[in-house]
Structure 1
Amino acid sequence: MKSTDNNMQTISPGNTTNLRRLGWSSFFQDQFTIEDTTSCFARVVGMRRNFFLVSQGEEESIVTVCGSLLKDPEMCYPAVGDWVILRDSSIVAVLVRQNALVRKEAGTKKRKHHEIPGHEQVIATNLDKALIVCGLDRDFNLRRIERYLTLVYNCGVKPEIILTKADLHQDPGVYADEVEAIAFGAKVHLVSAQDDVAINRLRTDLASGVTAALIGSSGAGKSTLINRIYGENIQTTGAVSENLGKGKHTTTNRDLIVLPTGGMLIDNPGIREVALAAGDANSVSAFPDIEEMARSCKYLDCTHAHEPGCQVLKAVSKGELSDDRLKSYQKIRDELRYISDREVKSAARVERERWKGVAQKIKTINKKKYHR
């Protein structure tokens, strides 16, 4: 075995013992058929402003991105969780991803329709699961959790929900029941400062080679959760403002942390705005209850807003479905449709079609008035 200048071993695709500890699998192995003794494979475990931290299963090394990768618009820019090819201490290629947790850049929801849509931001890649962390304080919001679930499902990743600060309530199980009612099969974990049962369960689930990403608001308790799962204080934690109910960004970088159990957690800065990105049309929905009801609606293109024979509205009137959940579904559905349209149409065309529809509705209303 040769060594590169940064003391990393040059490997062949067949020598992957250390890499398997970081989640290397046949999915990545099958991307190579020819042994290349001038290059080596590694996983991105950290991102900084001008460089990356990578690992082959033992020591971490600092590398940069080669100029040709930056200039090629068809090549993926590395993200935490990526498997990459290294040559001379530089990343020369990013392996095809199994999945990627992606959202629109913060602030894009507030832009007007005619403005350029925000770029997609890759949060983490090659995940086995995404852990949605929500504190049982002012951070708790079912509608926000629905957006997180949509974000995760759209990226083809399995979600789990962790409710922290359960010790703030005498009966935190009530909150867990509310979340389970909208999560439909996703695991829900209640975590409190005094109880280690849930922490031990999470440790067991994060077995060797398993990669999970933590996402949630600032102050939700992600850093504290990592410290408890790891068993040591390896992440900085901060207090939540009593006046605003918001936490500070104690985590400012994205890092892949290898746990003593062999599992991996990708920590992320707090997310203020869950801005959705265009997802997989065949992905699992965060609203399976509403979509199941919609199959029995009178019209195939029912918007569940005013149409006769709408089974979804019927369920709301009977109290079987909350109006808040329906509004959340409609808002997310419309947002995803708009994002999808922006992928294939110019902003001007989308806007013209929107106003054409408005004009047609006004014309129809005027005709009804005239015939009266």
Structure 2
Amino acid sequence: MDLKMLGWNDHWEQQWSICDRKDTIPARIVGDFGQKYRVITEQNGDTWAEMSGKLQHELDSRSSFPSIGDWVAVQPLAGEDRVIIQGVLDRKTCISRQAAGFVTHEQIIAANVDTLFLVCALNDDFNVRRIERYLIMAWNSGVNPVILLSKADLCSNIDEKLGLLQESAMGVPVHVVCAIENQGFEDVDKYLTTGSTVALTGSSGCGKSTIINWLFGAVLQRTQEVREGDSRGRHTTTHRELFLLPQGAVMIDTPGMRELKLWEDEGGLSLTFADIEELRRSCKFTDCRHEQELGCAVLQAVSNGEIEEKRLLNYHKTLRELKFQAKKEAKSNSKQTKRGTKTHGTRLKGQALVKQLND
């Protein structure tokens, strides 16, 4: 297979040319099954892969391990239907979140994505505040977010929900789609350009797998009905997988999320809440927290109905979460340094993040 069909371009060619990749060939990870991977190479096509012991030893964090969408250097094995991953090319973009549980750990959702479809169903599971969190994750990753409001056939007040979303998605394309009625196909199709990488994310049951089947024109992913009681979905996609669409783009499907814990802030908070960030410049006090202070331009905007109160509350909640996460990361990195563990290549930015979020 020509790797250009999978997104290989001058950027990756240049990166490959300056690396010492003796006895290896480039490949892209198209399936992430934990310890095992599916990759595609130009010479071997679709095949199984696993990391070399040396690479596992060199990589200093789980988030540095190969993930879906990564470009890797692999070593073919003579007479075997598998290859060994010897290196990972630097990521162009990286979508991640804080992994579930109490341990500070970054979980990679997808790498080297150009456009991220944030899928939200237009049923009882529609949630503007959740979409705001997904937008922060998207902006932090460096990808272009696009909101897809799915299952339009189940909604009788689409305009009302679009109105609720308008304030939170300023500057972000929003498309209403329905695979059953073939609604919005042309709106989505324009993002699927040859060589581009598009990923889908959203809560369980929002319709990601259905959208992939719809765009491909055949059943690639299994689907399940949502629960009738609360419109919440059941997990259908259990691993991350990359598909080549007829339009020429590659699409990454990811398992549905029960909750989204943000990993860190790379400016996503300011972009998602740009209206609040802009108004804070007009506050009487430079250290205004937008809670009870006199002369607060943000609180005045809420009082005037210019900003929804729930949006401001979500801003405060998210800011607290990011500060807490940054402190945890800084504390974790400090412990690792004291113990003499490797820190090369890790994200030792906790202290800087705490300062940034407090400014």
In the superposition, the TM-score normalised over structure 2's length comes to 0.85
- Where in structure 2 are the equivalents of 1:1-372 lying within 5 Å? 18-31=2-15, 32-33=17-18, 38-56=23-41, 59-74=45-60, 76-88=64-76, 89-108=83-102, 117-281=103-267, 285-345=271-331
Unaligned runs of 5+ in 2: 77-82, 336-359
CA 1:308–1:53 in 2, change beyond 3 Å: closer, same or farther?
same
Aligned sequence identity (%): 39
Taking the aligned partners of 2:293 and 2:154, their CA distance within structure 1 comes to 44
Which residue identity is paired with 2:7? Answer: G
Unaligned runs of 5+ in 1: 1-16, 109-116, 350-372
CA 1:177–1:40 in 2, change beyond 3 Å: closer, same or farther?
same
Preserved contact between residue 28 and residue 96 of structure 1 (Cα < 8 Å): no
Q: 1:245 Cα deviation (Å)?
A: 2.2
In the alignment, what sits opposite 2:350? none
Taking the aligned partners of 1:346 and 1:257, their CA distance within structure 2 comes to 37
User: What SS is found at the alignment partner of 2:307?
Assistant: coil
Taking the aligned partners of 2:288 and 2:281, their CA distance within structure 1 comes to 10
In the alignment, what sits opposite 1:366? none
Preserved contact between residue 149 and residue 175 of structure 2 (Cα < 8 Å): yes
Preserved contact between residue 125 and residue 230 of structure 2 (Cα < 8 Å): no
CA 1:68–1:216 in 2, change beyond 3 Å: closer, same or farther?
same
Q: 1:37 Cα deviation (Å)?
A: 6.0
Taking the aligned partners of 1:242 and 1:82, their CA distance within structure 2 comes to 38
Which residue identity is paired with 1:210? Answer: S
Q: 1:284 Cα deviation (Å)?
A: 5.7
Root-mean-square deviation over aligned CA pairs = 2.2
User: What SS is found at the alignment partner of 2:227?
Assistant: coil
Preserved contact between residue 113 and residue 198 of structure 2 (Cα < 8 Å): yes
CA 1:152–1:260 in 2, change beyond 3 Å: closer, same or farther?
same
Number of matched pairs: 325
Q: Deviations over 1:153-205 (max 9, x none)?
A: 11222111110111122341322232232111111110124542412331232
In the alignment, what sits opposite 1:358? none
In the superposition, the TM-score normalised over structure 1's length comes to 0.82
Taking the aligned partners of 2:295 and 2:270, their CA distance within structure 1 comes to 26
In the alignment, what sits opposite 1:360? none
